[in-house]
Chains A and B, each alone.
Chain A
Amino acid sequence: MTQSVGQSVPHDAAIGHVQGNAYYLDDLPKLQGELHVGFVGSPIASGKIVRVDYSKAISLTGVVRCFTVKDVPGHNVFGIVVFDEPFLASEEVLYIGQPIVVIAAESVEAIEQAKKVIEVECIPTQPILSIEESIQHQKFLGPKRRIARGDPAEAIAAATHRLHGLFRSGGQEHLYLEAQAAISYPGEQGQITIHSSTQNPTEIQALVSEMLGVGMHEVVCICKRMGGAFGGKESQAAIPAMMVALVSFHTGRAARVLYDREQDMASTGKRHEYLTDWAVGFEPDGRLVGLKADLYSNGGASTDLSLAVMERSLLHSDNCYFIPNVEVTGQVCFTNIPSNTAFRGFGGPQAIAMIENIMESVAQELGIDALLVRRRNLYGEAPADVTHYGQIFSENKLAQVFDKLEATSNYQLRRDAIREFNKTSKLFVRGLAMTGIKFGISFTTKFLNQGNALVNVYTDGTVQVSTGATEMGQGVNVKIRQVVADEFGIPLSRVVVMATSTEKNNNTSPTAASASMDLNGAAARNACQQIRERMAVFASHRFASGPEGIVASPTHIVFENGEVLDRRRPQDRVAFGPFCAEARRERIDLGARGFFATPGVDFNRETGKGSPFFYYTQGATVAEVEIDRFTGQSRVVRVDLLIDIGDSINPAIDRGQLIGGFIQGMGWVTNECLVYDAKGKLLSNSPTTYKIPAITDLPEVFNVEFFPNHDNQQNIRGSKAVGEPPLMMGVAVWAAMKDAMGSISKLSSSALNLPATGEVLLECIGLGFHEKVSLEDASKTQLEEVVT
């Protein structure tokens, strides 16, 4: 029997997916008496609540009860890092759609009726709706963070060339297909079980217990699977879970909430929009000598995960490049929109787009190919192997990855052909770019880098494993199964991964930071090893034989091909199932709890120094785009991806992560565009008006490859994390668009921000015809005014 690890076995729930019987929350059968839950949110972005009247609603047939903050028995204000997020608005409202009244009813129709007659009266105050306004009013969330090395101001002043500018990247809606949802089942004596579509069951458990004023031990949170999450259910699954918990607490009935799409999009947070004020100094060969960048993120109305997101941005401002003198600062801005939150990449994409914009700008300025600039600046040998926060970047594969991809993508030939094409084509302009990624793996908050697992071996030799990892499509369940099957040398079919539940795994970290397999897989393996050790001792006595001169030796016991044997007498073997039954009769403990804590990672926020990452996932992308000169519409002609993810535990699953992440990143940099009205209401609040990539947006030619690498043996089975890194490979598509704009005019190129929608591109193309006003300078002075 071959090992499971390394095989492309299908997703754990693939059969259920294709048959439609893999259940998501709203597919669960309704319990007798179960209530539907909905809510009424704030009509305005900022103001004071003066009156809430739901008397008309509760007189409607079918409406059971309405709840406001007054009905919250425990704490109403929570937060992952800072306690500044109310569950239900009490006096102040902070964003449009912020939940104020929770409705419990016998039917969805009754909720719709109730919403129409609930009256909420507010006195509006002036909302803060942009990063600029927040800077102007100095309304920030948390302290400014800074990471620095050397003296960038002096280095930039002394450099042969200097450039500075403002760069904006837009937010991004998660658009997980399953909306936020939760169901609660009241238990005995005030206990409660919550089924939640969450990446973070432990947090749901903690927040529900605080909100209800009961102990954590009285709350169980279960998550079987999510219909997509991407970070959007790391912290933001909490409010819907608290809603149903509140309803069950007061009514003693089961309760279910499923946000409708508009509610979900309008009232939950997204990827942070960023605005960066940057300056670089560089030499004629493209070498950067100094970088100063002040990053501002749009945090929304509460802190949520914004500080950690910003921290990761600062840690990724270098991307793949060694810059001797660096100062990056980060400030999270308060605005009156739903609190922005985790989204695949977690601040990494914004920082990487920022520095890649600089690479393109430097190339434009020097009139050389941006690939040359990138290569000149790649991390290399000591001393050019130390990041600006002091971590040594070992196992650097960037140069090799770049070499390989430049060759396989035919970069140079295509560069020449595109130059020719752009000279002659009346209708289209093309662009080409190659960008890299170096993404640090681990939570930058040290304590989160732990995982625990529960492994139960049964007397027929089958195994159940439970960890804190939640399945959102990324395939963590099947990978854990593969690891566990190999530990006992049994077929994959003998192992099942159970629903994630706080009852089995306590104090777990969110399934995030790409690290859930690293942490939970390692914990599961640890549990298996404990059981195996006990089994080996038992087996060694079982196989020991005086006459044959075989003494009991646990180290000689082997678990393979579904059998247990002593390597010295392989002919005497026993099948794993009967062996387990025997072991139980001999009172061997066939269950264990495993634990793993990532060794050696830490980061000091105050000094901005440390080695926060266990290792880096690295890769590179070449993208070619074509843009219509008259309409701005674009298409991606060809993409080549090359990524180093070590020894893949499941290549097909990882390939799926790679491609899916890339396309999501491509969406972020091209057509995904959040539009708000002047009052802070989200207009792009459904898939009708918010356009994620469709199948027809796929690159016409799409080559995807893994870079062979076996040197990440410190991690589980030599693998590397793959969840988030590919999203940032999408930045290549944007860089190619910038390159295309450069072939029209310098102004067209420097005016390009992110996302590059058709409208934005056409605007930039238009600038090529009248280069009079320097847009960059105009907006620059504006920001300086606000900052001072």
Chain B
Amino acid sequence: MKQDISVYINGKHYLITGADSFSTLSDFLRNRLRLVGTKIMCSEGDCGACTVLVGRRRDSCLGVLAHIDTNSHNAETSPDGNTTGLSWEYRSVDSCIQFMFQLEGAHVVTIEGLKSDDSFGQSLTHIQQAFIDHQGSQCGYCTPGFVMSLAGMRESNDKLESHEIREGLSGNLCRCTGYVAIEEAASDESFSRQKVMADSYCHDAMNAILDSRINDDVLIELPETTSENIAERLAFMPASLEPALTFLSMYPQATVIAGASDVGVWHCKSGFHPKIILCINRVTELQTFYAPNKAFDGIERESSLVLGASLNWESIREACREWIPQFDSFLTLFGSPQIRHVGTIGGNIVNGSPIADSLPILFALDARLRLASANGDRRVPINEFYTGYKKNVMQSGELLTHVELPIPKDAEILKLYKISRRRDMDISTFTAAIAIQLKHDSVSGFKTVDSVRVALGGVGPLVIRASKTEAFLLGREWCESVATEAGAIAATEVAPITDVRGSEKYRRTLTKNIFQRFFFETSFDCSKALQI
């Protein structure tokens, strides 16, 4: 057991203890290290001004897919054959909603830590120089965040296409430039010459320290427990599941934290400062992914993906790409790259917001959740998981460990919808997942509905399966008027409210319309674009 957090910042090693462990990364950078290049605008993950890179070695990394193991392309054989040859992955993260206790084993790189190519003759990197050349900054407040996002993209790209730039920078807001100059800076040919982190920093010492503690659990007590004294605040960062469950049985009131993309916002915005924390982002068992047809715990899940609860959204995308490509592309609308690099599927499910983007597909495909506690495991269908607004059947001491997600049947048409005020980087006003299987009636020549599953979100306190609508559709001829009627029925099944993201009426209209849209999308070739 370690009693401090080992973290590198811009190549320098820090052992964090005490109150600093509970600080946000941005506060630590700005107030303790006076690295004020990391700017704060919103303190809730919405602007990207505070973007930094968090590097983790693949085997210690939140969201490394277990099935992509050390034998695959990621492993770099090192001369002595140990794990220190593993590469580090650097991902952009909003530092305002990351806690220091989440960073055990990580290397944080801030704007001050970018290393220029020496031959360049200045202390500027290519990305920075491109920003200057293309007038990518006006007031400059957003600029460090953009530069860091691009530095993150550089890790796995030599060149960025326009759509990659836009998608990759969708988590960074700029109020001044209108983005065009930033886009031009990002497409500058010098991008490929920007040094990657593997060449900017020597990782030997980092590897050595990481190796020495990778299997250790970490416990921070504040103040330290002594004979007279019991700690008032605890943060436990176990490396595996068993100690996590044991801790949870001792402290059932503990706040579980995975990516902190929800909890971090509560910390900054609602004064939520939990006293006892179980941080599960190092627990290896929760980061596993099993593809269909692989044995999991002796049980055959022939047509399900089994996803570890602590997999982040970028890893979920990777895991689903082959099996449910719709989910992969849908997830580009989930938060921003920075959020997808930390936010987990488990956090989304347990937080259980009716506008959580992952829920409609999980509902429609009848996902099952695997819960574990020190007393044993159980499985709960997601359609029976929630009992009320943000309430669920989990008992104290239980942890969500895996999500079993059946893949759609071959003939099933699955579409996922997210309606939000702004297309990217916005919370949904309305969500839907519709999966339908059609049968061709050889006698009538019509298509009829053979099976149908519909889940709707943002239309009440819970995500729902539209069961009346499903019952209505089953066996009907699949045509426009039936789709329209289905919409009308669905509108009677929902109970939306008016809030800052939209009115009750709007949500009802969307519920109604989404069936027609689905019908047209799946019955006609609507891809024909207008080109001049």
Contact = CB atoms under 8 A, between A and B. Distances in A.
B530 interface: yes
Given A27-B36, A414-B532, A759 B503 contact: yes
A430 B133 CA distance: 36
Interface in A401-437: 410, 413-414, 417-418, 421, 425-427, 430
A228 B137 CA distance: 11
A427 B521 contact: yes
Given A19-B124, A659-B180, A697 B36 contact: no
Nearest to B177: A660
A645 to B, nearest CB: 16
Contacts of A633: 419, 423
Interface string B505-529: 1100110011011001100101000
A630 B500 contact: no
B213 interface: no
A228 B182 CA distance: 17
B500 A176 contact: no
Interface in A170-185: 174-179
A423 to B, nearest CB: 12
B170 A659 contact: no
Interface stretch (B42-50, B65-73, B78-86, B204-212): B42-50
A13 interface: yes
Nearest to B512: A630
A714 B507 CA distance: 56
Nearest to A638: B532
Nearest to B27: A108
A20 to B, nearest CB: 2
Interface in B170-203: 170, 172-183
B177 A659 contact: yes
Given A17-B140, A687-B47, A659 B178 contact: yes
Contact of B173 (A177, A178, A229, A758): A177
A223 to B, nearest CB: 13
Nearest to B168: A695
A673 interface: yes
Given A656-B138, A762-B510, A176 B175 contact: yes
Contacts of B271: 112
A702 B180 contact: yes
Nearest to A475: B138
Contact of A664 (B165, B178, B180): B178
Given A472-B139, A688-B427, A695 B183 contact: yes
A177 B49 contact: yes
Given A177-B141, A694-B425, A696-B424, A656 B46 contact: no
Given A19-B124, A418-B530, A702-B180, A695 B166 contact: yes
B416 to A, nearest CB: 13
Contacts of B424: 694, 696-697
A695 B170 contact: yes
Contact of B139 (A225, A410, A673, A683): A225
Nearest to A410: B532
B381 interface: no
Contacts of A694: 170, 173, 422-425
A130 B128 CA distance: 47
A230 B132 contact: no
Given A20-B112, A177-B142, A630 B177 contact: no
| Best-surrounded residue of B136, B509, B520, B530 (most CB of chain A within 10 A) | B530
B38 interface: yes
Given A630-B517, A691-B422, A759-B503, A11 B138 contact: yes
B137 A696 contact: no
Nearest to B167: A696
B447 interface: no
B135 interface: yes
A80 interface: no
A704 to B, nearest CB: 8
A694 B336 CA distance: 11
Contacts of B180: 659, 698, 702, 704
Interface in B401-455: 417, 419, 421-427, 429
| Best-surrounded residue of B43, B49, B136, B139 (most CB of chain A within 10 A) | B139
B260 to A, nearest CB: 16
Contacts of A766: 509
A696 B426 CA distance: 12
| Best-surrounded residue of A29, A112, A633 (most CB of chain B within 10 A) | A633
Contacts of A22: 140
A18 B141 contact: no
Nearest to A650: B135
A724 to B, nearest CB: 14
B124 A178 contact: no
A718 interface: no
B39 interface: yes
Contacts of B521: 427
Interface in A664-705: 664, 671, 673, 675, 683-684, 686-689, 691-698, 702, 704
A18 B131 contact: yes
B40 to A, nearest CB: 8
A653 interface: yes
Nearest to A22: B140
Contact of B36 (A8, A20, A176): A20
A18 B532 contact: no
A504 interface: no
Given A27-B36, A177-B41, A697-B422, A11 B183 contact: no
B501 interface: yes
A372 interface: no
A762 B128 contact: no
A635 B424 CA distance: 12
Interface in A112-156: 112
Contacts of A762: 506, 509-510, 513
| Best-surrounded residue of A683, A695, A702 (most CB of chain B within 10 A) | A695
A189 interface: no
A695 B147 contact: no
B185 to A, nearest CB: 9
A763 B506 contact: yes
B487 to A, nearest CB: 9
Contacts of B41: 177-179, 261, 687
A655 interface: yes
A604 interface: no
B273 to A, nearest CB: 10
B475 interface: no
B135 A176 contact: no
B143 interface: yes
A641 to B, nearest CB: 10
A23 B49 CA distance: 14
B29 to A, nearest CB: 11
A262 B41 CA distance: 10
A178 B139 contact: yes
B177 A177 contact: no
A661 interface: yes
B132 A15 contact: yes
A730 to B, nearest CB: 10
B274 interface: no
| Best-surrounded residue of A16, A179, A696, A704 (most CB of chain B within 10 A) | A696
A682 B176 CA distance: 24
Interface in B198-243: none
10 contacts: A8-B135, A177-B139, A228-B141, A473-B140, A671-B421, A692-B175, A696-B170, A698-B179, A759-B503, A759-B506
Interface of A: 8, 10-11, 13-24, 26-27, 29, 112, 174-179, 225-230, 260-262, 410, 413-414, 417-418, 421, 425-427, 430, 472-475, 628, 630-631, 633, 635, 637, 652-653, 655-656, 659-664, 671, 673, 675, 683-684, 686-689, 691-698, 702, 704, 757-759, 762-763, 766
Given A21-B36, A228-B139, A694-B170, 5 more contacts: A18-B129, A228-B175, A414-B532, A427-B521, A695-B172
**The 6 A-B residue pairs with the shortest CB-CB distance in the complex, in nearest-first order:** A20-B37, A473-B139, A17-B140, A227-B141, A663-B178, A473-B138
